[in-house]
Structure 1
Amino acid sequence: MEYFNEILDRKTGTLSRVSQGDWITITELGDLYDMGKREVRDILRRLEVLVVEGAERHRRHRLARWVVERGWGRRIEAKGTHPFDVVGPELRQWLSSRWQQALQDKAREATASTVEAARALAHFNGNRLNGDLTVQQSVSWLIDHFPHLTQCEMGLILNVTQQMIAKWMNVRSAQIRDAKALKAMDLDERKALRSSLHADAPLSFWQKE
C-alpha cells in the first residue's frame, strides 16, 4: 500500500500529495523472501525488528518501538480491526543487507536432531488429511517422537519463541495429570463427572484445527 502526506501550499491554498513509498505488511514482506508467516517473523525477531507482546491468546508479534520511532514502520491499530504492522522502504533496505546473515545464524543453530525432527514432522503433516498440526499439537507430537529436543530446538523447528513452547508443554502436562486423575476414578465418579460437564464442551485437543 502506498502512503501519502498531504502538504498545504499556503500561497495557493491547495493540497499536494507527496508519496512516502510503498508500505507492506509483515506477511507480504515474507512473500518477498519466499517465506511463510512463522518463518519471516522468526527472522525479524532475531533481528530485533519484531517483539512478542501480550499474553496467552492475545500474544502477537509487533514492530519494535525503535523501528516505529525511526519512521521505518507503523503499528496499525484501527478501532474494530485486528492490529497489524506495515514496514516501509527504508526498513526493507536495512533488512536486505542483514537477511542472509540472519539465515546463516539460524542454520548454524540447527543440529542434526532438529533437522531430522523437522523432516519427520513435515512428512507427518504432508500425510494428514486435515492440514498441518497446530503449534500446540506439533509440540506434543515432537515430545512424543523426539523427547530429547530442548525447548529452544522445538522453537527453531516451529518458528516460535521458547516461551510459546514452554506454554504448550505446561498445558500438555496439565492435560496428562487430568487424564491420570480421571483414570484413577471409579465408574460412579466418572459418571458423576461426565454429567457435570457442559453439553457444549469444546472439541478434543486432536480435533481442533
Structure 2
Amino acid sequence: MLYVQETLDRQTGLLATNILGEYMTVTELGDKYGVGPHRVRTILHHMGVLAAEGRRYRLPRAFVDTGLGIRHDKPRSGHPFDVLSPKCQALIAEAWDDTVAALDNEAAPTMDRAKAALDTFRATRRREMTTQEAVCWLCDHHPRLLHRHIADILGVTPQLVSKFTTLRAKQINIARNAKARPVPNVPAPPNHLDQT
C-alpha cells in the first residue's frame, strides 16, 4: 500500500504531499516469501525486526522512530498491526535467507529428539500408530514443534498436520466443556418395599 504524508504549509495554507513509499503488512511480507503469518513473525522476531508484546509480535517503537515502519495500535478493524517501510523490507531481504537457515538449524536437534522419542514410543506398541495418533502424540509431548516440523518428521504435508491438530483442539475443547458441566442431581427412585 502506498503511504503518503500530508503536511500543512503554514505560509501558503496548502497541503504538501510527501510520498513515503510502498509499505507492506507483516502478513503481506510473509505472502511475498511464501510463508504463513505465524512463520513470518517467528522469522522476523529471530531477525530482531519484531519484538514480543504480550501475546503478539510487534514492531518496536524505536524502529518506528527510525523510519522502518508504522504501528497501527488502534485501527478501525480492532486488531493492531504494523506496516514495514521499503527501507525495512530491503534490510529484511538481505537477512532473510541467513535467518531462515539459522532457524532451521536450531530446529534440527529438536526434531531429531522428537523423532527418536516417537520411534521409541512406537516400538512399545502392539500395533502401528495412525498418522493422526502420531501427530497428536508429537503435539502432546513436543508442543514447540511447528506444523511443518511435524510434517517433516512424519513424511506428510503440513496441511494434513494442520487438519489433525484442528480436530485435536476441537476434541480437547469438547472434553473440557463436558468436564466443566455440573453433574445433575438425580433423586433416588422410590423404594416400593416400604409400602404397607
TM over 0.5: yes
1:66 aligns with 2:55: no
1:17-54: CA deviations, max 9, x gaps?
11000111110011111111111111001011112222
Q: CA 1:114 to 1:195, structure 2 compared with 1: closer, same or farther past 3 Å? A: same
1:88 aligns with 2:85: yes
Separation in structure 1 between the aligned mates of residue 34 and residue 139 of structure 2, nearest angstrom: 29
Q: CA 1:19 to 1:42, structure 2 compared with 1: closer, same or farther past 3 Å? A: same
Q: CA 1:141 to 1:19, structure 2 compared with 1: closer, same or farther past 3 Å? A: farther
Separation in structure 2 between the aligned mates of residue 65 and residue 12 of structure 1, nearest angstrom: 33
Once the two structures are TM-superposed, the CA of residue 70 in structure 1 deviates from its matched residue by 1.2
Separation in structure 1 between the aligned mates of residue 75 and residue 100 of structure 2, nearest angstrom: 36
Give the root-mean-square deviation of aligned CA atoms. 3.6
Q: Which runs of 5+ in 2 are unaligned?
A: 119-129, 151-168, 186-196
Instruction: Give the match's secondary structure for 2:43.
Output: helix
Superposition pairs of residues 144-155 of structure 1, within 5 angstroms: 144=140, 147=141, 149=142, 154=145
Aligned residue-pair number: 142
Separation in structure 2 between the aligned mates of residue 95 and residue 72 of structure 1, nearest angstrom: 11
1:97-137: CA deviations, max 9, x gaps?
111110110121232762786xx9xx958xxxxxxxxxxxx
Separation in structure 2 between the aligned mates of residue 8 and residue 79 of structure 1, nearest angstrom: 24
Once the two structures are TM-superposed, the CA of residue 69 in structure 1 deviates from its matched residue by 2.3
Separation in structure 1 between the aligned mates of residue 138 and residue 38 of structure 2, nearest angstrom: 17
Please, which of 84, 89, 97 is the counterpart of residue 94 of structure 2?
A: 97
Q: Is the 8 A contact 1:76 1:83 kept in 2?
A: yes
Instruction: Give the match's secondary structure for 2:183.
Output: helix
Instruction: Give the match's secondary structure for 1:3.
Output: strand
Superposition pairs of residues 92-131 of structure 1, within 5 angstroms: 92-111=89-108, 114=111
1:49-91: CA deviations, max 9, x gaps?
112222xxxx212112332221211110226521111111010
Q: CA 1:66 to 1:193, structure 2 compared with 1: closer, same or farther past 3 Å? A: same
Instruction: Give the match's secondary structure for 1:99.
Output: helix
Q: Which runs of 5+ in 1 are unaligned?
A: 126-137, 159-171, 183-191, 197-209
Equivalent residue, structure 1, for 2:14: 14
Q: CA 1:49 to 1:114, structure 2 compared with 1: closer, same or farther past 3 Å? A: same
Which segment is superposed worse, 10-19 or 21-30? 10-19
Q: CA 1:90 to 1:124, structure 2 compared with 1: closer, same or farther past 3 Å? A: farther
Equivalent residue, structure 2, for 1:185: none
* TM-score normalised by structure 1 residue count: 0.55
Please, which of 74, 78, 96 is the counterpart of residue 78 of structure 1?
A: 74
Instruction: Give the match's secondary structure for 1:96.
Output: helix
Separation in structure 2 between the aligned mates of residue 27 and residue 124 of structure 1, nearest angstrom: 30
Larger radius of gyration: 2
Superposition pairs of residues 145-184 of structure 1, within 5 angstroms: 147=141, 149=142, 154=145, 157=149
